A and B are shown apart, each in its own frame.
Chain A
Amino acid sequence: QVTLKESGPGILQPSQTLSLTCTFSGFSLSTYGMGVGWIRQPSGKGLEWLANIWWDDDKYYNPSLKNRLTISKDTSNNQAFLKITNVDTADTATYYCARIGTTGGYVMDAWGQGASVTVSS
């Protein structure tokens, strides 16, 4: 059974760095073709893809946020991470991580429950 769980600070102030952790089980990020993606959703709005990291440590970022995003992984501890620098109120959202599986192309076939992040002074 594949499970993912996001964790984060809950609330932080503008200009700080947001650090998110995705802890997963049921798969390994060292498996050929596997990946983890980060997606966010402001309250009442749509989904925004942020970044992907792959089994071979290849990384892709949303161009509109690229300068502020850093994705990384700890394969031995089954974790993926996302950092967003210089946050402001527009970064307030629920942040999801999702497995990108090897069956069905680049399908995000399992999602975490989401971590709520509020940026406020």
Chain B
Amino acid sequence: DVVLTQTPSTLSATIGQSVSISCRSSQSLLDSAGNTYLYWYLQRPGQSPQLLIYLVSNLGSGVPNRFSGSGSGTDFTLKISGVEAEDLGVYYCMQATHAIFTFGSGTKLEIK
């Protein structure tokens, strides 16, 4: 099974600070057709997860452009360029390259 390891587990940031979250996969997420099915979600307190990034680097509908995704193979990064108060919550990466989906363990973003 594919294991996704997120670091750090907790992140504390001030408003306006830029932060990055890492997601490392135990197997390559590149499929035979050249696609990489890696996604990022944000779960705000008391809410359902919402899509931020799809296919490594594509912004979800309505997602502010301060969010960006990058990476390939087994190493992926979510970057927030200028944290805002509404960004607090838990960030999860998820892979769907392999038919058995898996989520990372999550990164909690706290606002100082």
Q: Which residues of A contact B101 (CB under 8 A)?
A: 37, 49, 52, 60, 106
* Chain B: interface residue total (CB-CB under 8 A): 27
Tally inter-chain residue pairs, CB-CB below 8 A: 64
Docked CA distance A27–B65 (Å): 27
- Chain A CB within 10 Å, residue with most, of B41, B43, B90, B96: B96
Docked CA distance A42–B94 (Å): 18
> What residue of chain B has the Cβ atom nearest to residue A66's Cβ?
B100
Cβ contact within 8 Å between A108 and B100: no
Residues of A with Cβ closer than 8 Å to B?
Answer: 37, 39, 46-49, 52, 60-63, 96, 104-109, 111-114
Chain A proximity mask over B80-96: 1 for CB below 8 Å, otherwise 0 = 00000000001010101
**Distance in Å from the Cβ of A104 to the closest Cβ of chain B?**
4
Sample of 12 further A-B pairs with CB below 8 A, known A47-B41, A104-B60, A106-B96: A37-B101, A46-B105, A52-B101, A105-B35, A105-B37, A105-B55, A105-B96, A107-B39, A107-B51, A107-B55, A108-B41, A114-B48
